[in-house]
């Protein structure tokens, strides 16, 4: 990660904390990172040296018109400092700093089919029991695991997939 992105994220977090708008800005940053990740066009616009800064700023203000003033000001500062191409990294760093400050961690759950709400709640409860921290679930759907799940929290991994069990059984039978 870019050190500049971390510095901007820390500054935005500090300002949001002072104005008691940390959660609102967190919502903005999540939307920004998700939108940039999903839109190759927006990513290209932000990174292109051929597109004028005014056009980039106007585009961001239109796309994210419902965002907080702090977020809108971030766009202007990044444009002025010729750093707008790191906006997605700033947003991601903000989210990580926010989560760390509130003892929230991301639990990646890989399943063969999308998680439903009740199972998601059970996984969150298990993560809280194991780590003592709240968790935000990120569900990755991978049909190749056949069934079961793979849970990753920080550097811990628990593999309860059918694919893993079949591989283990195959290994045992070949020995």
Q: What is the pLDDT of residues 83-108, one digit of tens each?
A: 999 999 999 999 999 998 998 888 89
Structure tokens, 84: 């707008």
pLDDT at 1: 53
Look at residues 94, 74, 92, 93 and name the one whose alpha carbon lies nearest to residue 84.
Answer: 74
Domain boundaries, the chain: 3-100, 103-174
Q: What is the pLDDT of residues 130-141, one digit of tens each?
A: 788 888 899 999
C-beta atoms surrounding 9 within 10 Å: 25
pTM: 0.75
For the chain, how far is it from start to end, CA to CA, in angstroms? 44
Structure tokens, 128: 């809280």
CATH node for 3-100: 1.10.520.20
Q: What is the pLDDT of residues 136-156, one digit of tens each?
A: 899 999 999 998 889 898 888
């Amino acid at each position: 990660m870019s050190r500049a992105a971390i510095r901007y994220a820390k500054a935005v977090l500090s300002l949001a904390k002072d104005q008691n708008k940390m959660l609102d800005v967190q919502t903005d940053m999540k939307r920004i990172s998700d939108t940039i990740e999903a839109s190759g066009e927006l990513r290209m616009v932000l990174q292109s040296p051929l597109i004028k800064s005014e056009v980039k700023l106007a585009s961001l203000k239109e796309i994210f018109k419902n965002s907080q003033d702090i977020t809108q000001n971030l766009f202007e500062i990044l444009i002025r400092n010729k750093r707008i191409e790191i906006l997605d990294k700033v947003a991601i760093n903000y989210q990580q700093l926010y989560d760390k400050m509130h003892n929230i961690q991301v639990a990646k759950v890989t399943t063969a089919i999308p998680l439903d709400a009740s199972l998601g709640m059970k996984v969150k409860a298990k993560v809280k029991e194991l780590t003592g921290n709240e968790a935000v679930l990120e569900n990755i759907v991978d049909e190749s695991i056949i069934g079961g799940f793979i849970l990753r929290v920080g550097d811990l991994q628990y593999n309860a997939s059918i694919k893993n069990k079949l591989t283990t059984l195959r290994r045992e039978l070949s020995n």
